[in-house]
Amino acid sequence: MALWQLSSIGISSEESAAIPELAQVLVMTAANMMQKSAAAISAFDNAYATVATVITSSKAIIEQAQTNAALDKKTKSSLVRLSKIVDGIESLRSRLHDPSASHSNGFFSLGELSAGLGDLLESMLRPQYGRCLRGVVRQGPAPAAVNRNQVVDASTPGIAPPALDKALYTALQQDDKTEAQRLLELGADPSYMLLNCFCFRLRSSVAKANKSEVLQNLLHSFGCDDPDLRKSETVIRRENVGKRLDECLQQISAPSFQATADMPLFPDEMSQATDSGEWIKTLRHVIDIHFSKFKPSTEIFSPDRLYHGKAQVLLVLLDDATCRCPGLCDRFAELDREGCQVIGVPMPGFKIDNYAEWWPASMPAFKYHSLFFDCRWEQPNDACNRWEVKMAKELMPQVHQYLDEWTDGSKKQLGAPSAPGALQERIYVSIQDMRESMLPCPRCLERGEANPGAFNRDECVLHFLAVDDMTNTKGMLYCGTCQNRVMVKEVLRRVIFCSYNWGKDLSTQKLAKSLCHKIFLVTEMPYWLDVEGGMGFGDELVSEMREGVAGCKVVLLMISDAFCNSGNCLFEYINIVENNKYVIPLLVPDHGETRTGPSGWTGQYQGNDWWKHAQDICEHQRPDLLTHPRADLFKKIPWNYLANFQPVDLRGEILKDDGSLQDDSAAEREIIRRVISRFFRRS
């Protein structure tokens, strides 16, 4: 990196602008990210008016300094910084009022820039101006001598610097902010100190200013960098905001600036781009938190921001406009051929009728990329930030894995199309890859062992198959490192959760047991069921259910009319929604009446409205629901969550004598296909 920085000195700004840098994370959207708002520009102009006086004064001192060849190095450095700040503010202002100008600000929306101009003035612009002013004034022609006992103020012409500094000390001692400010504007040095030899007393302007927060802030605003000058919380906040805004403005005014920055210009002022702007802004925030030590570079490609460089991870925001944007589709195909790791992101309003081909027809290359990060609905518990929790939990681990593979020199391998599926924390290339994995001992991890014990996954699977008839629990494992016995369910996560009402004479339970077992034989993915080892004797139902839902990746929701009026089933369903789980709805056949209604699904709605039957028949005023410990949750059940998933209808299936599905039936194949799509990607 040092060699690159040395060699880059000889690269001109034009050559630098022509070098496309790799975007480790590239977001592709069809939304217009460059819209301008007249109201927002007016607000920025009003904010600019508050700093215009200082900008005018800064320009004057810059022009005056250009004629002075005797300035010291420190003053010249301050002049350069002051010029850059002024140029950055004026460059942005001119771009906003120029219809033909390229608009981008990198990190902040226009509203944030307007709100932060005051902080930029106090923490960056005025301090640099104060330093330059002192350097220029104090290195000018020799001032006239000051008579003894002469009062020094703004009307005194040509005052000697020592007299100015002493007068500033006196003004600070008298807590006279107005007089102190006038003396600072004349060039007084706030770092003035005088040692009285008779009483060995040190007189310091900083010491006097430290007695008042107002005076502290005044000295800071005039560029006093004395280490003994304390900083108030206001100064610290202003400095943080000012530095970030200054970096943003320097990016805009740089000759090599390209419209390929990290964020849209006006994400909070857009109309049709609102979802995309908010999503990208949230992504930036989550990346900053997740990648605390190393920040991956992030870029945007949209019809008005034509990023031409390469990318490692490509996130495609899919909405109705995506398939109608030829330039975006062509660029997507190009990036796919270059070997990008692609993740589709269905946005609100994007409809998926067939999960086997969930992508737009204009982007057929998606068939080689089975993962998608579904953002079509808001998270119930996070109304203020719709996607932050979901991004941190599901998207960041996968992005991290892709970037790790990239740094290890891994190459993308294209193969046969794989089944689609939403993003998961760990995606296996094949069942063999999964079998060879090692699972760490949870007891060792709790103890902080540097080299925790580990179990072969195949061995864990064998123990999972063994159910203790006395306790209804799966087998136990022994860790030689920590010398503890560990339950299999603590090591081998049960990634499939089966939610159902038992039905008439256990009709649905029989179907659930056989289906889960068949899925396990095909996928080797453990499942959570309230029987056959799902819960042990003495286990608390609610806590076990919550643990099962939180730890799973796929929910088999065997929905029936009886399910929709069962307190425990409804509580289970609400937890599924709150945890934002991927659901495979199974419409259960009816085998007779139960205490809470028919044991099967009797709904007649078609298409995307299929779930409304549950909404129609759910009676939250039923006595048994009103007496449930969590009856408060049943007043408004989010049945519309199911609109995001297409059901598999089991009502027309011919069942075996034991109540299970026929082997290799169309319904069974579809269920297994959807499960497989959640965990494996073909190489």
- Convert the pLDDT of each residue in 426-482 to its tens digit: 455 566 767 777 888 888 888 877 778 888 887 777 777 665 444 444 567 788 888
Does one domain contain both 475 and 567? no
Above 60 in pLDDT, residue 384? no
Nearest to 414 by CA among 351, 349, 469, 370: 370
Range with the lowest mean pLDDT among 61-65, 295-299, 368-372? 368-372
Answer whether residue 348 is part of any domain. Answer: yes
Answer whether residue 82 is part of any domain. Answer: no
C-alpha to C-alpha distance for 174 and 167, rounded to whole angstroms: 11
Position with higher pLDDT, 650 vs 535: 650
Residue 515: give its domain's CATH number. 3.40.50.10140
Does one domain contain both 458 and 369? no
Query: Quick one: pLDDT at residue 254?
Result: 56
Does one domain contain both 287 and 375? yes
Answer whether residue 616 is part of any domain. Answer: yes
Does one domain contain both 479 and 575? no
Answer whether residue 101 is part of any domain. Answer: no
Answer whether residue 609 is part of any domain. Answer: yes
Q: Model-level pTM?
A: 0.41
Does one domain contain both 473 and 541? no
Answer whether residue 57 is part of any domain. Answer: no
CB atoms within 10 A of CB 553: 21
Per residue in 529-572, pLDDT (tens digit) is 887 544 443 345 677 788 888 888 899 999 999 999 998 899 89
Above 80 in pLDDT, residue 522? yes
Query: What's the CA dihedral at 487, 491, 495, 498 to 10 degrees?
Result: 0
Q: Say how many domains are in the chain.
A: 3
Query: Which of 403, 427, 451 is a domain's end point?
Result: 427
Does one domain contain both 286 and 387? yes
Mean pLDDT, residues 510-536 taken together: 80
What percent helix, strand, coil does the chain show, rounded to 5? 45, 15, 40
Answer whether residue 196 is part of any domain. Answer: no
Does one domain contain both 483 and 353? no
Query: Quick one: pLDDT at residue 421?
Result: 42
Above 70 in pLDDT, residue 376? yes
Query: Which of 474, 489, 504 is a domain's end point?
Result: 489
Above 50 in pLDDT, residue 346? yes
Above 60 in pLDDT, residue 286? yes
Residue 509's pLDDT band (boundaries 50, 70, 90)? very high
Answer whether residue 58 is part of any domain. Answer: no
Does one domain contain both 449 and 360? no
Position with higher pLDDT, 195 vs 486: 486
Does one domain contain both 478 and 498? no
Percent of the chain exceeding pLDDT 90 equals 12
State the helix-helix crossing angle for 73-96 and 126-138, rounded to 10 degrees: 140
Residue 493's pLDDT band (boundaries 50, 70, 90)? confident
Cβ(560)–Cβ(599) below 8 Å: yes
Does one domain contain both 499 and 641? yes
Residue 498 belongs to what domain range?
Answer: 494-668
Query: Quick one: pLDDT at residue 367?
Result: 77
Does one domain contain both 581 and 560? yes
Above 80 in pLDDT, residue 199? no
Query: Quick one: pLDDT at residue 140?
Result: 54
Q: Residue 60 belongs to what H/E stretch?
A: helix 38-66
Mean pLDDT, residues 371-398 taken together: 72
Query: Which of 394, 427, 460 is a domain's end point?
Result: 427
Does one domain contain both 449 and 565? no
Above 60 in pLDDT, residue 187? yes
Q: Residue 111 belongs to what H/E stretch?
A: helix 110-120
